[in-house]
Amino acid sequence: MTKQQERRDFFRIDDVIRLQLSAVKPENASETGLPRALATLNQLRRLDSENAQVLRQINDKHRDIARYLTLQNEKFEMLAQLLVDQLNIDFNEVAANISGSGFKITLEQAPSEGSEWHIRVLLLPDCFSFYCRGKVSQCEAIAGNRFEVAYEFTEIDSGDQDELVKYITKKQSKQLRAQRLGD
């Protein structure tokens, strides 16, 4: 995918993400997936998305029941965030420019262009995480012996990519709303 196509196909936002990168090597080439707790949180998020339509229908007929269910959902969200905070998973918090097709970050060591990586991303406060494989599509030296590195997703589950795009769209809407209110 060319840069021009990517700009048309996906929004990009600047965000702080939690990231775990490991180079694909013969001994870990078959590595896939997320830690069990994060996979379970993703399943809970998917169920929540499926329940959204039912909750809207309940709200049309029974506002008090819908309010109760919404509060229960907020409790689950708080527990999910607590669980993520308590997990001792080795994720690094990094500033990134992210889209549905990849991300760009700044690193102190330059990976080889074209090198393949196992990528795990955790996005807060939504507690959405995903695993994919990617490759370094660009690596440029910048000031202070640092490197701007672009990773392109090469193998990403389409459902995870859809969720990522939803997250980015929601985050962009919040940023635009905050700008509008600040002006």
CA distance 108 to 36: 30
Q: What is the CATH number of the domain that holds 127?
A: 2.40.10.220
Distance CA 48, CA 64 (A): 19
Q: Would 147 be classed as within a structural domain? A: yes
In a domain, 94, yes or no: yes
Q: Is residue 78 part of a domain?
A: yes
Residue 65, domain extent: 11-24+35-182
Instruction: Give the count of domains, the chain.
Output: 1
Q: Is residue 152 part of a domain?
A: yes
The pLDDT of residue 5: 47
Spell out where 102-177 has E strands.
Answer: 102-107, 116-123, 128-142, 146-156
In this model, does residue 13 exceed pLDDT 90? yes
Residues 6+ apart with CB under 8 A from 13: 97, 98, 99, 168, 171, 172, 175
Residue 114 falls inside a structural domain: yes
Of 86 and 60, the structure prediction assigns the larger pLDDT to 60
What letter does residue 111 receive in the DSSP assignment? P
Over residues 106-150, the pLDDT tens digits come to 999 999 999 999 999 999 888 888 999 999 999 999 988 899 999
| Domain contains 29 | no
Give the chain's radius of gyration (CA, Å): 18
Residue 183 has pLDDT above 70, yes or no: no
pLDDT confidence band for 42 (50 / 70 / 90): confident
pLDDT in tens, 85-100: 777 567 889 999 999 9
pLDDT of 7: 47
